[in-house]
Amino acid sequence: MTEPTTVSGGLDASGLRIAIVAARFNEVVVDQLLSGAVDALVRHGADAADLTVVRVPGAWELPIALDRLAGGGAVDALVALGCVVRGATPHFDYVAGEAATGCGAVARSHGIPVGFGVLTTDTWEQAVERAGGKLGNKGAEAAVTAVEMARVLKEL
Ligand code: INI
C-alpha cells in the first residue's frame, strides 16, 4: 500500500531569526518566561545574535508589535510572552482575548508562526507554577513550538 506523505518539522533552531515579544506587565513572571524561551532556543541551536527581544507594556500590546515584526520580513518565527491574571472585573477577558486572537491573526495574515506563551490564569500562584515552577516553563514551550512550526512551514 502506498504510504501517505508526511510533513513534519524538526526542532533545529540554527539559522532561524526569531523575535520574542514580551510584556512588562506582571514582569516577575514574564521575565521567567523570557529566560526559559531564550534558553530553550539556544539549546536548540539558535545563535543568540539571531534573537531579538522586544518589550511592550502589556499583553494587549503584543499583537501590534508582532504584526510590525512579521511585516518587516526579517523573522522566521515569533514568540509572544505575557501573563494575564484574572481579577475581579471582566478586564481579564478583554486583555487575554485580544492577546490570543491577535497573536493568531498575526500568524495567519503573515504566514509566520507565533508561539503563544501568554499565561492566562486565575491566580498568581498558577502563573508562577507555569513560569519555571512545578508545571514547567510555558515560555520555553512556546519558543520550541515556534521553531517546529517554522520548520513545518518551510516544508509546505
Ligand atoms: N496586561 C497584562 O499583560 N496582564 C494583565 O494581567 C493585565 N491586567 O490584569 O490588567 C494587563 N493589563 C494591561 C494591558 O495589557 C494594556 O497594557 C493596558 O490596557 C494599556 O493598553
Bin 84: left if φ > 0, else alpha if -120 < ψ < 50, else beta. Answer: beta
Q: Which three cell numbers stand for residue 29?
A: 513572571
pTM greater than the 0.95 cutoff: yes
Shortest CA distance to 142 belongs to which of 111, 108, 106, 114?
114
Instruction: Give the number of the atom of ligand 1 that is nearest the alpha carbon of residue 82.
Output: 3
Q: Which three cell numbers stand for residue 36?
A: 526559559
Give the number of C-alpha atoms closer than 13 A to the C-alpha of residue 84, restricted to the C-beta side: 25
- What pLDDT does 89 receive? 83
- What pLDDT does 21 receive? 98
Walk along the chain (156 residues) and give the pLDDT tens digit of each residue: 899 999 999 999 999 999 999 999 999 999 999 999 999 999 999 999 999 999 999 999 999 999 999 999 999 999 999 999 998 788 999 999 999 999 999 999 999 999 999 999 999 999 999 999 999 999 999 999 999 999 999 999
Query: Is 13 near ligand 1, meaning CB less than 6 Å away?
Result: no
Which single residue is written with the C-alpha cell 514582569? 27
Query: Is 78 near ligand 1, meaning CB less than 6 Å away?
Result: no
Query: Is 95 near ligand 1, meaning CB less than 6 Å away?
Result: yes
110 is catalytic: no
- What pLDDT does 64 receive? 98
Distance 6 CA to ligand 1 centre (A): 41
Fold of 18-155: Rossmann fold (3.40.50)
Instruction: Give the number of the atom of ligand 1 that is nearest the alpha carbon of residue 91.
Output: 10
- What pLDDT does 88 receive? 76
Residue 96 to residue 71: CA distance in whole angstroms: 23
Instruction: Give the number of the atom of ligand 1 that is nearest the alpha carbon of residue 23.
Output: 3
The one catalytic residue in 24, 43, 68, 91 is: 91
Q: What is the CA radius of gyration of the chain?
A: 16
- What pLDDT does 1 receive? 81
Residue 20 to residue 139: CA distance in whole angstroms: 10
In whole angstroms, how far apart are CA 111 and each of 29, 56, 129, 130, 154? 29, 22, 32, 28, 11
- What pLDDT does 117 receive? 98
Give the contacts of 145 (CB within 8 A, at least 6 positions apart). Answer: 113, 115, 116
Q: Which three cell numbers stand for residue 101?
A: 486572537
